[in-house]
Structure 1
Amino acid sequence: MSGVYRVAVRALCDFTAREGDLDHRFTPAPSAREGIEGHTLVASRRGADYLAEMPLSGVFESLTVTGRADGFDPTRNRLEEVKTHRGSLERMADNQRALHWAQVKVYGALLCAECHLEQVTLTLVYLDITSGKETLLSQDASAAELQAFFATQCQRFLAWAEQEANHRQRRDSSLQTLRFPHATFRPGQRELAEDVYKATSTGRCLLAQAPTGIGKTIATLFPMLSAMPRQQLDRIAFLTMKTPGRRLALDALATLRAGRDDERKPLRVLELVAREKACEYPDRACHGESCPLAAGFYDRLPAARQAAVEQAWLDRDALREVALAHDVCPYYLGQELARWADVIVGDVNHWFDSHALLHGLAQANDWRTGVLVDEAHNLVERARGMYSAELDQQRFSRLRRAAPKVLSRPLGRLARQWQAVMKEAALEEEGEPGKPAYRLLAMLPDKLVTAAQQLGAAITDHLGEHPEDASLELQEVLFEALAFCRLAEHFGEHSLCDLTRFGRGRAVLGLRNLIPADFLAPRFKAAHASVLFSATLTPAHYYRDLLGLPANTVWREVASPFTAPQLEVHIRRDISTRFRDRTASIEPIVEVLAQQYQGRPGHYLAFFSSFAYLEAVLARFRQAHPAVPAFSQTRGMPEAERDAFLTRFEPGGKGIGFAVLGGAFAEGVDLPGDRLIGAFIATLGLPPFNDFNEALKTRLTARFGQGDDYTYRIPGMIKVVQAAGRVIRGLEDEGVVVLMDDRFAQASVRALLPSWWSLENPNP
């Protein structure tokens, strides 16, 4: 296929000219702002006729290459490419140096062609931003040899560009005739699919509340894929909160790729996996001298990349197989293929985190992206975590005892600021044994933040000169300080600062995000269309406000295929689970559990607000009813024990599993049929009443006027509905949910329960 393709010089060289090892040893790098200032400084040192930011372009066959050369000195006939750095240049990875030379050579070819030069001096200008010292590396080159180099790079890229254009054409042609993979839609699926298609076609954001069991995953992927060619989407990102969600998405995509006509769709699917799970050699450093899959990575990348796109289906196992067949790192091969896949399945942080891979690629390449967010009710808390940070006093104190001498002064300065903050917060001697002391701070402690910034700069400068000192602990302290200071620059009404003392010499300064909307709004704006879906997205204004959704966001509730007779819902108004009533509630709760079990033996889950409450009820239940099988979630339960807990829910089995609301068994657990026939919920799931949540309530009241609901009631009821949703998983399921607290009968609480539930009998 022939056509006209455009590529920037940096992107061209990044694709064609890297060579040698993958090298991810820590290298202190200038910030973007420092880089801009460095380029300006170099230009200011040149003569009056120096041409900075010189636009250049050229054409090779059907490829147009464009860019801006950093500077050209016509008097010396010298073309410069400026790169800022910290510390020793010898530390710079060879693949970076190869990329830099390739860039200046391409610019040289464009310059010679445009200005009719027969030769030019190419110079790499390395500016140490700490000292201001310039290191110049130069070579003379003829126009002929530069044109030959340019042609080679263009040929490599053009072959790939034409291949990608062919793939895009075949993909879009195939998706225009995409059919739903099943003979019929499940109840509610067609309605959800139509809403997703409309949102994608109009470039809007959709909040879709749809019950569990209707097949939401395939009902969202199918319409967005169908709209992909018509809306000229470049990529679809299917984002999940947990690993099981990725598996469901991949299963749905496998079904859609297979199609109903046995003709596999030319659709590239990539699963992004966390680095620690993808690493083949977790005990080795990520560079060619340590890891065999990093050695020669860029030399083998082109063949591995080609094999991967031909494979097309790249879940974790398939990607690993391709990577190991070419002796390259699976994780970094996946990062590369994120540029070339059609559908990327991964965690929500890949779009919404401050350093999100997919968002960064979309911005750099001007992608039109469709974003699907599964279990979206979790996004509020996940995003708060993404934009929060901590400084741990103990970590800095430990480093102070073993750090290089040059860091003793900035570490001492930070230690003094810690003591000043502790004294001002009156936390120096406060705190019961085993119980942390807590204070909300009225404002960010600027002097401590400044000390952390100065320490970060000192560590960065030291490691630039002494890379051999880059211990894991030193790097962790640096990253912690940098992350905190970056967020401190954006501190405002969306966040607060707190201090927690865990004992002498151990305090944690927290910068807590309260309203992720201010950080997430640009991410939603960057997507062509976003669809957030879950079984619990009520009320819509809660998510609109806290996530910063666009003003034209549409909310839809898909009618439940389940009917009230399938689920008995009882409210026990005679029980209070308030903290002051916990002891008195144990006996009646035990009685409710026993009565329901004896009336209909089978498998149940009983949810409580805390492990302490759970353990108290469990102990009394076992004492009163030793014949009833009872088993329990435990604190810090390992994955193997969690699996064993769920394995007990066999078809036809009996027993009561005790669990914590909001924990591992309260959502994302699928126990259809008689594997689970009922749930007891002995809590409203309200977050604890404490200083932090009261401050959150005040802040949300000021911003949205709904502090109490947004802080306590709505988050609590989301957990309740999710836990209750474990009972009815399919159209044939039947079961019971017992809500044990008088507050469940309040109109404001009942309004947050699913509309298809019947609450006619408040007391069973």
Structure 2
Amino acid sequence: MTPGDDWRDVFGHAEPYPEQEDGVDAAVAAARDSGFLSLEGACGTGKTMLALTAGVHLVRDPDSDFERVVVLTSVKQQLRQFEADLRTMNANLPDGYDPVTAMTLVGKADVCPYNIEGRAGIDDDTVYERCEGLRERTRGLTEETTAGSLASRARSQQVGLADSGTQGGGAQYMEVLGEPTPYPPDTVEYADGTTEVEYCPFYAQYLDDLPEEGDASEAVPFDFTDMGLIERDDLVTLSASHGTCPHSTMGAILEHAEVVVGNYYHAFDPTTVGSFTGALLDEETFVVCDEAHMLEPRVRDLVSDRVGDATLRDAESELARVLQPLTLDGGDGTRTTAGLSEARDLIRAELDDADVTTDELARLREFLRDLREELDRRVTAHLDREHRGWRADLGDLPDDEIPLRDPEEPAEDEITEWAEREGYTDSVWANAETVGAVVARILNEAEEEDKRRAAPAVGRVLGSWYRNDHTDYFREIELERTWDETEPADSWRRAYNAALAVHNCIPGDAIAETLGKFGGGVLMSATLAPLDVFERVTGLTHLREEENRPVERRTYGLSFPAENRASYAVATPKFTHDNRGFPDEETETRRVYANALRQVARVDGNVLVGMPSYAEAEWAADVLADVDKEVLIDESSGDDATERLKADFFRGDGKVLVTSLRGTLTEGVDYRGDRLSAAAVCGVPIINTASPRTRAVRTAYDREFGDVSASDASGGVGGGTSRSGFETALTVPAVRKARQAIGRVIRGPEEVGVRVLLDERYARDSWDSVREYLGPEREEFQPVSPDMLSVGLDRFRDGRN
């Protein structure tokens, strides 16, 4: 059964909040006109249920063209929230309504039976290469036999092993998450005479079930239409127990799920879209972009390209291995004449099919060899210039950047200029992607090794380097700290991974191109203000002005009782490097901040302190050592260490947790209930403005948006002043970071907490004030002087007692 005109039929709760009612109506109306809703809603607005309700209602409306909802988020915590709200929605549907079919996209590592059980030499590091190799061989074997026969062979091997009672007499079939499968514990081989080819029986069974024409969902061996939210474990056990591939099954279900939950890269990463999720990006899809304040920086990374020195080396080696059989005569004992002839035939056939010549292979190999030498020369010269004596202490070198043009003056980059001087013409760059792809195909067929080839990645980046302009794109050499003992002791390659990078400074066009493929949707976050900036940098303005697609706006502040919270913007001196000095200096600015942090840290319960960097976090932890609480410090570390730190923070008596605002503990983390009583942010966390990449982005935004009128505070278009590249690219995202951290405190109507912004730019209207970027809660953050902070904190505490 499908709902009628009232979206309340699918709303998961008894009654919507007023903001939810208004927001659902706005989202539905915009989407019916192929438009979008920009929604800033504070915690407690119910944004997740709002967006799901609007999307599911449209999908189930027989008069709507929408067939599915695609949810995109960059934060795992929010992904879990969508799953929870989907369960709530299904649990509260009216009698007779079909459950909403939904699925969360996961990677091969999460669903591959062999990876889950640690079999067949497959683990998290090898699963993608091994999977692609096994699939390719399985498909290849279907030219000699049928996919069904391959699956049957594997089933018969399992039976034989079980009957033999070998290996301790236990069951000789593979189990996945406790469920038996019809296959032996490892991959199997197809033997035909002297040839033995390893293949994946799970994938073979999927191919056998797949109809030659028609709907791929016919290959799904279970009825998913009444399952509601299809959990990862259910997907794996139901698929594997039937002997079919869980990852392929997930792909077959995709187009039939009413709601698909995924990450930004499922829509914006060209590789992922091309290989897996492209069918979801059309006018029949209602898109929900959650945590949309992160859309611009995340997509900038996805549509930028880089290739490391080691990858260039590996691609050169791959080209050499393809060229070698074409130059050998077999007289050196390297190969038999028959073997050489077979290899040559394979290579020439692939080259002919791709219209690639041997000369093009050789020319690209020469180019990569010379490019690595030029890279070596430039890195060495940079280190000699900037870090004299660097060879004596490789372990002390920092991450670094080497710009290939003036970041503030668009011009052709120095690598392109070098290539032209060396005689490497446009054709070398332009053909690199095609040549790289054919090299990978040849090696995958000729070499019995499951490995991700380097040549395609190199070809893709060289093509991007060649195609993209020098105005909106910035090219540089990135030096990332690493350590490789196999490199010479005096080589920078021991300490660095160097990469050629081409950065998309203004990803708005790429975002708009992808958003434009959808039929409409909602882009939402607790921190989108100012909406005119958000809409310009994400391409929504382009869609409205150039494609006549409506873009509606809604802003909802905190709806929880105001008396439960105290919010202060403290007029401490600007927490900038010029004012505060280095962490080991005793400056007046640091003295003022240390005193303010101690006052906030003494608030009863857990206190979160957000600093502009990890180095400053260490300083803050030191000055808080005399507070009568345990002080925990977050360091740049892996997920496991961060999870342990959170658990320690939540356990026992009140503590202070000090972290960087660039870390993972100030966004998307659930501090619900009594987990957090206060939060303080020091300074406006603007990223390093001296970085060449940052300067290039700022300059590009100056050109793109500096002469465009900003919206007025009421949300209308026009009537404002132009925003500089510094504001658009740096200040606004920095304030959003601060607001995200502060927003961790109050997560429900019964919660009580203190929120403190420390820096006069939050407190005063001045040339560099950021008060206008604080969104709908701007007036709540009372400007106070540093010496009045303690008075305000005491008054709030006493008022609660």
Instruction: String of CA shifts for 1:592-632, please: whole Å, max 9, x gaps.
Output: 2322333x32100011111111112212322x34x421011
- CA distance in structure 1 between the partners assigned to 2:8 and 2:681 by the alignment: 47
- CA distance in structure 2 between the partners assigned to 1:693 and 1:685 by the alignment: 14
State the partner residue of 1:227: 58
- CA distance in structure 2 between the partners assigned to 1:410 and 1:456 by the alignment: 10
Q: 1:484 to 1:538 in 2, by over 3 A?
A: farther
- CA distance in structure 2 between the partners assigned to 1:514 and 1:471 by the alignment: 38
Superposed, 1:252-651 pairs within 5 Å as 252-282=85-115, 283=122, 284-285=130-131, 286-287=134-135, 288=138, 289-301=198-210, 302-304=218-220, 307-309=223-225, 311-355=227-271, 356=273, 360-362=278-280, 367-397=283-313, 400=316, 404=321, 406=323, 410-420=364-374, 427=382, 429-432=384-387, 433=390, 434-435=397-398, 436-441=400-405, 442-444=411-413, 445-446=415-416, 447=419, 451=428, 456-466=433-443, 467-469=445-447, 475-486=453-464, 488-491=466-469, 493-501=471-479, 504=492, 507-549=498-540, 550-551=543-544, 552-580=550-578, 581-582=580-581, 583=585, 584=587, 585-598=589-602, 600-622=603-625, 624-625=626-627, 627-636=628-637, 638-650=638-650
Q: Which residue, out of 37, 41, 45, partners 1:206?
A: 37
Instruction: String of CA shifts for 1:706-740, please: whole Å, max 9, x gaps.
Output: 20101221010010000000011111222112222
Task: State the SS of the aligned residue for 2:741.
Answer: helix
Verify the 8 A CA contact 1:607 1:660 in the aligned structure 2.
yes
State the partner residue of 1:742: 760
Which deviates further from its counterpart, 378-387 or 448-457?
448-457
Cα distance, 1:634 vs. partner? 1.5
Q: 1:635 to 1:187 in 2, by over 3 A?
A: same
Verify the 8 A CA contact 2:90 2:228 in the aligned structure 1.
no
Task: State the SS of the aligned residue for 2:113.
Answer: coil
Q: 1:469 to 1:458 in 2, by over 3 A?
A: farther
State the partner residue of 1:133: none
Q: 1:480 to 1:455 in 2, by over 3 A?
A: closer
Which deviates further from its counterpart, 264-273 or 246-255?
264-273
Task: State the SS of the aligned residue for 1:533.
Answer: strand
- CA distance in structure 2 between the partners assigned to 1:324 and 1:419 by the alignment: 49
- CA distance in structure 2 between the partners assigned to 1:465 and 1:694 by the alignment: 43
State the partner residue of 2:179: none
- CA distance in structure 2 between the partners assigned to 1:673 and 1:180 by the alignment: 25
Give, as a single letter, the amino acid of the residue that structure 2 aligns with 1:496: F
Task: State the SS of the aligned residue for 2:700.
Answer: helix
Which deviates further from its counterpart, 485-494 or 707-716?
485-494
Cα distance, 1:269 vs. partner? 1.3
Give, as a single letter, the amino acid of the residue that structure 1 aligns with 2:734: G
Which deviates further from its counterpart, 574-583 or 395-404?
395-404
- CA distance in structure 2 between the partners assigned to 1:576 and 1:543 by the alignment: 26
Give, as a single letter, the amino acid of the residue that structure 2 aligns with 1:540: L
- The answer to whether 1:704 aligns with 2:705 is yes
Verify the 8 A CA contact 1:701 1:707 in the aligned structure 2.
yes
State the partner residue of 2:731: 713
Verify the 8 A CA contact 1:427 1:437 in the aligned structure 2.
no
State the partner residue of 1:95: none
Give, as a single letter, the amino acid of the residue that structure 1 aligns with 2:635: T
- The answer to whether 1:659 aligns with 2:659 is yes
TM-score under structure 2 normalisation?
Answer: 0.68
- CA distance in structure 1 between the partners assigned to 2:11 and 2:205 by the alignment: 44
State the partner residue of 1:239: 72
Q: 1:424 to 1:510 in 2, by over 3 A?
A: same
Cα distance, 1:519 vs. partner? 1.4
Verify the 8 A CA contact 1:207 1:531 in the aligned structure 2.
yes
Give, as a single letter, the amino acid of the residue that structure 2 aligns with 1:493: T
- CA distance in structure 2 between the partners assigned to 1:332 and 1:203 by the alignment: 32
Instruction: String of CA shifts for 1:325-380, please: whole Å, max 9, x gaps.
Output: 221221121112112222111112222332426762146xx652111111111100
- The answer to whether 1:762 aligns with 2:784 is yes
Cα distance, 1:383 vs. partner? 0.8
TM-score under structure 1 normalisation?
Answer: 0.71
Verify the 8 A CA contact 1:586 1:616 in the aligned structure 2.
no
Cα distance, 1:175 vs. partner? 8.4
Task: State the SS of the aligned residue for 1:293.
Answer: helix
Cα distance, 1:315 vs. partner? 2.7
- CA distance in structure 1 between the partners assigned to 2:566 and 2:503 by the alignment: 41
Cα distance, 1:210 vs. partner? 0.5
Instruction: String of CA shifts for 1:62-113, please: whole Å, max 9, x gaps.
Output: xxxxxxxxxxxxxxxxxxxxxxxxxxxxxxxxxxxxxxxxxxxxxxxxxxxx
Instruction: String of CA shifts for 1:437-475, please: whole Å, max 9, x gaps.
Output: 521433254437865655554444444444233756661
Which deviates further from its counterpart, 496-505 or 691-700?
496-505
Verify the 8 A CA contact 1:196 1:206 in the aligned structure 2.
yes
State the partner residue of 1:752: 773
Which deviates further from its counterpart, 646-655 or 716-725?
646-655
Give, as a single letter, the amino acid of the residue that structure 1 aligns with 2:321: P
Instruction: String of CA shifts for 1:562-585, please: whole Å, max 9, x gaps.
Output: 354333222332343211314324
Verify the 8 A CA contact 1:724 1:737 in the aligned structure 2.
yes
Give, as a single letter, the amino acid of the residue that structure 2 aligns with 1:597: A
Task: State the SS of the aligned residue for 2:624.
Answer: helix
Verify the 8 A CA contact 2:608 2:680 in the aligned structure 1.
yes
- CA distance in structure 1 between the partners assigned to 2:430 and 2:279 by the alignment: 29
Q: 1:405 to 1:331 in 2, by over 3 A?
A: closer
- CA distance in structure 2 between the partners assigned to 1:454 and 1:461 by the alignment: 11
Structure 2 alignment gaps of length 5 or more:
116-121, 123-129, 139-197, 211-217, 324-360, 391-396, 406-410, 481-490, 545-549, 707-723, 790-801
Verify the 8 A CA contact 2:283 2:520 in the aligned structure 1.
no
Task: State the SS of the aligned residue for 1:416.
Answer: helix
Structure 1 alignment gaps of length 5 or more:
1-169
Task: State the SS of the aligned residue for 1:510.
Answer: strand
Verify the 8 A CA contact 1:571 1:762 in the aligned structure 2.
yes
Give, as a single letter, the amino acid of the residue that structure 2 aligns with 1:758: E
- CA distance in structure 1 between the partners assigned to 2:51 and 2:510 by the alignment: 25
Cα distance, 1:639 vs. partner? 2.3
Instruction: String of CA shifts for 1:157-180, please: whole Å, max 9, x gaps.
Output: xxxxxxxxxxxxx44669877243
Task: State the SS of the aligned residue for 1:657.
Answer: strand
Q: What is the count of residue pairs matched by the alignment?
A: 589
State the partner residue of 1:694: 695
- CA distance in structure 1 between the partners assigned to 2:107 and 2:9 by the alignment: 31
- CA distance in structure 1 between the partners assigned to 2:113 and 2:452 by the alignment: 25
Cα distance, 1:300 vs. partner? 3.3
- CA distance in structure 1 between the partners assigned to 2:67 and 2:296 by the alignment: 27
- CA distance in structure 2 between the partners assigned to 1:336 and 1:316 by the alignment: 15
Q: Which has the higher contact order (CA 8 A, sep 6+)?
A: 2
Superposed, 1:139-154 pairs within 5 Å as none
Give, as a single letter, the amino acid of the residue that structure 2 aligns with 1:414: L
Q: 1:408 to 1:470 in 2, by over 3 A?
A: farther
Task: State the SS of the aligned residue for 1:668.
Answer: coil
Cα distance, 1:516 vs. partner? 1.2
Verify the 8 A CA contact 1:187 1:561 in the aligned structure 2.
no
Q: 1:612 to 1:387 in 2, by over 3 A?
A: same
- CA distance in structure 2 between the partners assigned to 1:361 and 1:707 by the alignment: 36
